[in-house]
Chains A and B, each alone.
Chain A
Amino acid sequence: MNVALPIAATAPLGEARHHLSVEHVWKSYTSGVHVVRDVSFTLAPGEFLTLLGPSGSGKTSTLMMVAGFEAPTRGAIRVDGRDVAQLPPERRNFGVVFQGYALFPHMTVLDNVAFPLRMKGLGGAARRRAAMEMLDKVGLADFAARRPRALSGGQQQRVALARALVFEPDALLLDEPLGALDRKLRESLQIEIKEIQRRVGVSILFVTHDQDEAMMMSDRIAVMQDGQIAQLGAPDEVYLHPETPFVAGFLGDTNLLRGQCVGLGEGAAIVRFAGDAIGPARLSRGGGRPGVGDAVLVSIRPERIGLLRPDEVAACVIEGVVADRVFLGRHTRLVVHALGQMLVVSVAEPPGADVVAGAAVRLGWSREDAQILHEMGTGATR
């Protein structure tokens, strides 16, 4: 399935020029429920931005408002400065790809791709030529006369992308297109989407609940929770330096440590954890600074905690007792009782045979690996 596209190494054929901005958008119902609350972001030309969140976080509602299927209660949606929030979907200029692809089953692949051009009033010969060119770009020219159901899932996705791209949309909106597929197929289709984006040069707004998918594909990720953007940033930024407990928990496993701020420095604070261990931790950029003496919550990823040799030092060193050890192939997971709680430590190199349940170990991490979280009102930890 993981076939390389035939002209994968060529330069981009187009260039995204349009600038999409969503400004303070709300979606509220008369029942008083706000499914989207004050969401703002911009999609720069050629950018791949992902709205990531669990179901009910408002990510799909946000996308549907951009596409025009739902009207925002408040706020503006601008393309190159022009507010399109009041236009019906057929008068906006976005290519939308839905889960399941929504190809027209009674039309051939060529007619599917030519459909948007037909709606724009392009003549028969011209639109067939343009559709054929687009099919060629996605490597499906030989399948033009087939019906969508005669195609594999991957080929259907390419048809859906071709159809959404053929009319040169201002941006491509993808609503969990890979949601229903198995893991292997997903991965190869993720690569295809990126490849087609690179080749056509279009901005993409992508919606998913899968954090791995979001990390792999995006230039920036907006993590959504309860209708709000909890954090917006590059994948490594969001993963390594989450600002809220929710973001930390949603983007993978993490250890949450309670402590007290005992000193402040440039972009960092000194934290005293339970058991009197003291170490530095990064301050969140978005959240407010804690004061000296305030209680703080610190997130440390399991793979950022190091198992220290006796002579090794780190910015923060603690001692603990191993409670469990599990070999997981790519890494070994240790559960360590330390600082009055259980810490999960993930080490790439299998530790020595003496590191078993009951053994005393020294753990350590650097300033960059410990992140002080900003607790939002609704910040439930996952």
Chain B
Amino acid sequence: MARRDGLGRIVLYAACLPVLLFLLLPSLVIVPMALTKGQMIQFPPIWISVHSFADYIEDPQWFRSTVLSFEVAALAVAIGCITGSAAALALHDRRFPGKGLVTGAIMAPIVVPLVVLALGGYMVFAWLHLIGGWMAIGLLHGMLVTPYVFISVQTSLVAALNPVLVRSARSLGAGRASVLRHVIWPAIRPGVLAGGLLGFAVSFDEVVIALFLQGPDAVTLPVRMFTAIQFELTPKVAASASLFLVLSVLVLLAQAAVMRRRASGRAAA
């Protein structure tokens, strides 16, 4: 019995390992490629140098794109958190005809193909003469972030907002604003945080919209990488991709921390 178990486990590992490698390799291969000595991005890399990281940081265009990507993501997260939370609060515990339609409209940016959003956004912002600025990209990304925050806050509301707390606060003299501040905000804070983090990741590496709405002074980091890989083949691409890897790991860790705090808070309450 024990031998069979051992054998079964070996077979299991043997079957799973290739799958895991297949999933992880494209991500992991980026870091050694960034550590090449050569002036071209290549595989296998020529070991070992960090010059591509230095090049990436010192290149003003790449630096500008990195900052721009952060600006875009910050604007998108700010918009998404406000609209997503507001929408979740407005729809919570409320029944009315057409609620499904409203929810569908909020979720649409996740479902509608990005090219469609990008093209539509391009037309509208062109008409408004906003093409070529980071604001346009940030605004459209904000739309993309909204459903993520919406779902996350909705989950928080269902899980953590005890409706009796709202009644209790009101009976103790709290008006709408006080209820929002003292009862609702503490309950949805983890949801806003988790949704915001996810939204940040979504906006930061979004390419399609950023490509459509780019201008000479509005090239986000992923778009810069995309262009570079086509014309320059510089290892800066791999260096910046490593930055993405680090950022996404950080976002994942932060989300896990938020979730754990939320879970422990609920278990104890």
Interface residues of A (CB under 8 A from B): 67-69, 88-90, 92, 94-96, 98-100, 102, 104-106, 115-116, 119-120, 149, 163-164, 167, 173
Contacts and interface: CB of A to CB of B under 8 A. Distances in A.
Contacts of A96: 167-168, 171-172
A95 B171 contact: yes
Contact of A104 (B165, B171, B173, B268): B165
A90 B164 contact: no
Contacts of A102: 162, 164-165, 167-168
Contacts of A104: 165, 168-169, 182-183, 186
B162 A120 contact: no
B173 A149 contact: no
18 contacts: A69-B170, A89-B171, A90-B175, A92-B171, A95-B172, A96-B167, A96-B172, A98-B164, A98-B167, A102-B165, A102-B167, A105-B186, A115-B172, A116-B172, A119-B178, A120-B173, A163-B172, A164-B172
Contacts of B171: 67-68, 89-90, 92, 94-96, 164, 173
A89 B186 contact: no
Given A102-B162, A105-B265, A90 B168 contact: no
B269 to A, nearest CB: 4
A96 B164 CA distance: 11
B170 A90 contact: yes
Residue of A67, A69, A89, A95 contacting most chain B CB atoms (<10 Å): A89
Given A105-B265, A173-B171, 7 more contacts: A89-B167, A89-B170, A90-B172, A90-B174, A96-B167, A119-B178, A120-B173
Contact of A69 (B167, B182, B269): B167
A99 B162 CA distance: 12
Nearest to A97: B168
A90 B168 CA distance: 10
Contacts of B170: 68-69, 88-90
Contacts of A69: 167, 170
Given A89-B170, A105-B269, A120-B173, A100 B164 contact: yes
Contacts of A98: 164, 167-168
Contacts of A92: 171
Contacts of B174: 90, 115, 119
Nearest to B267: A149
Nearest to A107: B182
Could you tell me the dominant secondary structure of chain B's interface residues? helix
Closest 7 pairs (CB-CB, A-B): A119-B173, A102-B168, A116-B172, A96-B171, A102-B164, A89-B170, A105-B269
Interface residues of B, number: 19
Interface in B152-201: 162, 164-165, 167-175, 178, 182-183, 186
B173 A116 contact: yes
Nearest to A105: B269
Interface string B32-59: 0000000000000000000000000000
Interface in B240-269: 265, 268-269
Residue of A67, A98, A119, A164 contacting most chain B CB atoms (<10 Å): A119
Nearest to B164: A102
A151 B143 CA distance: 44
B192 to A, nearest CB: 15
A96 to B, nearest CB: 4
A301 to B, nearest CB: 38
Contacts of B175: 90, 119
Contacts of B169: 104, 115
Contacts of B178: 119
A263 B268 CA distance: 67
A88 B168 CA distance: 13
A90 B268 contact: no
A90 B173 contact: yes
A149 B165 contact: no
B182 A115 contact: yes
B164 A149 contact: no
A94 B173 CA distance: 9
Nearest to A92: B171
A353 B68 CA distance: 97
A68 B171 CA distance: 8
